[in-house]
Structure 1
Amino acid sequence: MTTSSTGTTGAKPVLSGIAVSERTAHLRAETALFMRDHVLSLVSHDLRGPLNAIHSWAYVLERKLDANDPNSQRAVTGIRNGVDQQVKLLETIVDAVRAETKSLALAYAPFPLHPLLDETVEEVRSGLARARGVELTLESQLATEQLNGDRERLAAALWVMLTFAVEASAEGAAVTLATRADATRWYATVTFNQSAAALEDPLVPHLLEAFARKQAREPREAKRIAWVFALCKRVAEAHGGSFEQSDAAESETATLALHVPLSATTAT
């Protein structure tokens, strides 16, 4: 079965013109929480390598320096102690803070996919797309397929994907959510034409944090996602699935893809 629904183009109010619902406010907060923990995870990972190297070179220097020179020995000891302090900070502060989303609890239950898609598309359409003058379309090949997973978490992941696509789209542009399922997996792909100006424009409504939109425009290392999609990646992986973000030049088609098993089980 193929269905299609579109949004309407409306006026373009400033940010204060958006009536943010309680659910939208909750989703914004969830997005920011996962983004914070994702950044902390990157900081922890990227700092440990250089710190380990400094620690190793300190031992090399110690063997090269004069053992009878107290100043040299104090300097090497200070280097090692400084590294140990930094590692302890990573373990006690950074790793502890991100523990909330590192082990993601899921409420498993079977649910039909199509109502979830309709609800999420309408939520983004009424919450942002109409105000931005962006057309939001659902192209579904689903019939009565069900997924055994956490409905609320998956809805949040879709919301982030669609909201970012709308934020990154110029007025009059179109955002499409295409979805299908095979015998074992559910696939959801969002496509849009990426516009840096749309993400930057302070005169149009925005729901995502300004620093997240700014970071999303920066070059990414291989296989790394923009920070704003931390929730999408974590939810997909917790269900045994995956999230992918394609690279796209200005005004070219970008894609965001979520793949989840229909009978999802907690990933190890």
Structure 2
Amino acid sequence: MTTFFSGTQQPATAQPVSPDSERTAHLCAEAALFMRDHVLSLVSHDLRSPLNAIHSWAYVLERKLDAGDATAQRAIAGIRSGVDQQVKLLESLVDATRAETKSLALNRAPFALPAMIDAALDAVRTPFAQARAVAVTSGSTLAGEPLNGDAARLAQALWLMLTFAVESSARETGVVLESTLDGTLWQATVAFTPAPAALHDATLAHLLEAFARRQAQEPREAGRIAWVLALCKRVAEAHGGKFEQHEEALVLRVPLAAA
């Protein structure tokens, strides 16, 4: 029997919880872990460009300054030393911390897609979508096709896509999961009608962290995703696939067979 919602980390709980609550807590913890490492990856990438520029301009200034001006030479040396220290911090702290999910190991095995999809749908419908009065429905052209991949990780990604869509939807609206085959690719598309205010409405039930929901409302650069969806991106890429976030849809594409 395939276990669709498994993982290596167990979230701490202050008191015993029901199996469904424990499973949900674990899924939320996994989403938070990947979001943390995604943010660290962005920090590492986005800081290196200005640091490299500072380092290069320091050499330009050094050639323009009087070699006999001790104060100016100390200033240039201080600039280069500061840049080197920042780069070392990125390598020793930021890069090392995110190494846990940078290279995602998969437990590949053939599994039936419909069963995994149904499990993810059930995990979101009860009790979260019900509490939000959001109808989660699905349409599928699949006929029991197997996928050679990590069923647990793909189930986590699909759960997070559906959960984000519910979080982003107003009460008494709907979220639709379409599951299709495009040649040798499985494509899961979660469509919803975004209601930005729903992400921080204190009268509604929430699963995702407040910080993640606030960041998801901010403008995104081209090609970038909301931080909270980092798990979906990493799981897709580890399978040789792709994850995309659009205004009204989240799309996961994964090859049916290992690359």
TM normalised by structure 2 equals: 0.91
Q: What do residues 69-100 of structure 1 show as CA deviations (whole Å, max 9, x unaligned)?
A: 11101000000000000000000000000000
1:255 Cα deviation from its structure 2 partner: 0.5
**Secondary structure, counterpart of 2:36 in structure 1:** helix
> How many angstroms apart in 1 are the aligned matches of 2:102 and 2:199?
29
Unpaired runs of 5+ residues, structure 1, are: 1-17, 249-253
Q: Deviations over 1:131-184 (max 9, x none)?
A: 001000011111110000000000000011000000000000000000011441
Task: Answer yes or no: is 1:263 the counterpart of 2:230.
Answer: no
**1:239 matched residue in structure 2:** 239
Q: Percent identity, please.
A: 67
Extract structure 1 runs of 4+ deviating beyond 3 A: none
After superposition, the C-alpha distances for 1:55-80 in whole angstroms (9 at most, x for unaligned) are: 01001111111111111010000000
TM alignment of 1:1-268, pairs within 5 A: 21-246=21-246, 248=247, 254-265=248-259
Query: Is the contact between residue 24 and residue 127 of structure 1 (CA under 8 Å) also seen in structure 2?
Result: no
Q: Please give the root-mean-square deviation of Cα atoms over the aligned residues, in Å.
A: 1.2
Name which of structure 1's ranges 167-176 and 180-189 shifts more when overlaid on structure 2. 180-189
Letter in 2 for 1:220: R
Q: Secondary structure at the match of 2:252?
A: strand
Please state how far the C-alpha of 1:204 moved relative to its aligned partner: 1.1
Contact 1:111 1:148 survives alignment (8 Å): yes
Farther-moved stretch of structure 1 (181-190 vs 113-122): 181-190
Structure 2 residues not aligned, in runs of 5+:
1-16
Measured against aligned partners, the alpha-carbon deviations of 1:8-44 in whole angstroms (never above 9, x if no partner) come to: xxxxxxxxxx976111111100000000000000000
Report the AA paired with residue 257 of structure 1: V
Q: Please, which moves more after superposition, 176-185 or 128-137?
A: 176-185
The whole-number CA distance in structure 1 between the counterparts of 2:89 and 2:37 is: 15
- Cα distance in 1 for partners of 2:249, 2:258 equals 23
Q: How far apart in 2 are the matches of 1:264 and 1:163?
A: 27
Q: In structure 2, the residue corresponding to 1:207 is in which secondary structure?
A: coil
Partners of 2:130 and 2:231 in 1: CA distance = 24
SS at match of 1:49: helix
2: CA distance, partners of 1:29 / 1:81: 38
> Secondary structure of 1:178's match?
strand
Between 1 and 2, higher relative CO (CA 8 Å, sep ≥ 6) is seen in 1
Q: How many residues align?
A: 242
Match of 1:9 in 2: none
Supply the distance in 2 between the matched residues of 1:167 and 1:222 (Cα, whole angstroms).
23
Amino acid at match of 1:67: A
What residue identity is the alignment partner of 2:78?
Answer: G
